């Protein structure tokens, strides 16, 4: 018996995804306004933004499958062109999944040294199936004694610069990589709040360092929001930093005075 042919006007549905990092919802609305006005009626857009990570989904429904695919690919590429350096993925992937994909492809390993994020980076990494292939462990070095005694941070750096500083963050990353013999490392030290801030280092101040082989880079961020928001924001930023370093697309932060 011959199969019944598909109706000529059968509707096809497909989606395309772009994940970007670094835009607030207000900034994103301004950038996306013109792009959204260009979309035809048969292509809908959804934008999910949280802690500077934004997932843009384009969903098209049309009877012409080839035309639909052509248009969706074109609009996805347009978004890639618009955001360029801020694009983390051109697929429906979390930041941790993208990092895991890169580490897996390159057969690299990673470890963490976390102070203000309290193990959240490690938690996000191990949510991925197969993460045991590249994630070796984490030290939650909340106290200065653990920073010094376990990770080998020089106490003179802590006394001179404070625990929330470039020197300490970089030493934490190097210490974690050495301790766990990993190719890469991520370190965070900061003030998640609600207390503990000062005029020079207010609540939300976080120093993040990432290491890839012999290269260590660090940044000072000032995140807004409550304690959970600061922790999640620092977690995302740290992973994105390492993603860019692995992709050779890392752009150093403008010189920051850590005095």
Q: How do residues 41-50 score in pLDDT, each as one tens digit?
A: 999 999 999 9
CA 62-66-70 angle, to 5 degrees, is 95
* Global pTM value: 0.91
Please give the pLDDT value at position 255. Answer: 57
Contact 91, 156 (CB under 8 A): no
Helix (H) or strand (E) holding 27: helix 25-38
Rounded to 10 deg, the angle between the 227-246 and 95-105 helix axes is 30
Instruction: State the pLDDT at residue 230.
Output: 96
**Terminal CA-CA length for the chain:** 81
Q: Which residues of the chain carry a pLDDT beneath 70?
A: 1-9, 254-259
For the chain, how are helix, strand and coil distributed in percent, rounded to 5? 40, 25, 35
Q: For position 7, what pLDDT does the model report?
A: 53
């Amino acid at each position: 018996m011959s199969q019944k042919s598909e109706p000529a006007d059968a509707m096809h549905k497909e989606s395309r995804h772009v994940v970007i990092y670094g835009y607030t919802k207000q900034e994103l609305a301004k950038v996306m306004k013109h792009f959204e006005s260009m979309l035809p009626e048969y292509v809908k857009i959804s934008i999910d933004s949280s802690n500077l990570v934004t997932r843009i989904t384009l969903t098209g429904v049309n009877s012409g499958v080839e035309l639909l695919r052509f248009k969706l690919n074109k609009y996805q590429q347009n978004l890639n062109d618009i955001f360029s350096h801020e694009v983390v993925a051109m697929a429906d992937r979390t930041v941790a999944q993208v990092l895991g994909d890169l580490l897996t492809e390159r057969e690299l390993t990673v470890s963490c040294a976390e102070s203000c994020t309290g193990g959240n980076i490690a938690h996000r990494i191990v949510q991925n199936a197969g993460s045991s292939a590249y994630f070796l462990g984490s030290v939650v070095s909340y106290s200065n004694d653990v920073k010094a005694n376990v990770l080998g941070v020089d106490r003179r750096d802590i006394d001179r610069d404070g625990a929330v500083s470039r020197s300490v963050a970089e030493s934490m990353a190097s210490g974690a990589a050495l301790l766990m013999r990993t190719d890469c490392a991520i370190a965070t030290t900061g003030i998640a709040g609600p207390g503990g801030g000062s005029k020079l280092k207010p609540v939300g101040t976080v120093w993040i360092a990432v290491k890839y082989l012999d290269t260590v880079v660090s940044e000072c961020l000032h995140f807004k929001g409550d304690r959970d928001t600061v922790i999640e924001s620092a977690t995302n930023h740290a992973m994105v930093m390492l993603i860019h370093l692995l992709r050779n697309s890392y752009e150093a932060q403008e010189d920051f005075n850590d005095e």
